Amino acid sequence: MRTHTLDLHTGDRFRCVDLTADINDWLRAGDQGLCTVFVPHATAGVAVFETGAGTEQDVQSAVEALLPRDEARWRHRHGSPGHGADHVLPAFLAPSVTIPVVDGRLWLGTWQSVVLVDPNVDNPQRSVRLAFVAG
C-alpha cells in the first residue's frame, strides 16, 4: 500500500474542495488498483459529485437545510454557534470513498469529481489521507 497526505487550507466558511486533480497527480502512470480517500476529521466528509455547475452551492444548501446551525438544537456546543451540526455531518456524508484506478487515473465518470465537504468554520486546516492498493 502506498500512502500520501494532502494538507489543505479550507478557511473560515463552508467549502467544497475538488481533490480530483491532486489525487490524479499523486497516482503513478500505469497504476491499477483502488484508491481510498479519507478525511480524518470529525466534522467533514468526502463525496463524489459534479463540480462547477452549481452543485457545490446545492450541496451547501442541502447540508444547511438538513443540519441547521441554530445553536439550541445541538447538545454538542463548543465552538462557533451551531457547531454541533458539523459533528453530525459524518453520519450523512462518509469520511471516505474508495475509487478504482485504471492506467494511473481515478476511474470516475465524465462529470464526477472527488470532493472534500467541510462546513466547519472553526478549523481552517484539513488533511486528506490517500491510500493506493495495487491489484
How many domains, in total, are found in the chain? 1
CA angle 84/97/25 to nearest 5° reads 115
- Residue 130 domain boundaries: 2-134
* pTM for this prediction: 0.95
pLDDT in tens, 69-125: 888 888 987 888 888 999 999 999 999 999 999 999 999 999 999 999 999 999 999
CATH number at residue 67: 2.60.120.460
Residue 70 has what pLDDT? Answer: 87
Tens-digit pLDDT profile for residues 31-84: 999 999 999 999 999 999 999 999 999 999 999 999 998 888 889 878 888 889
Q: Is 100 helix (H, G, I), strand (E, B) or coil?
A: strand
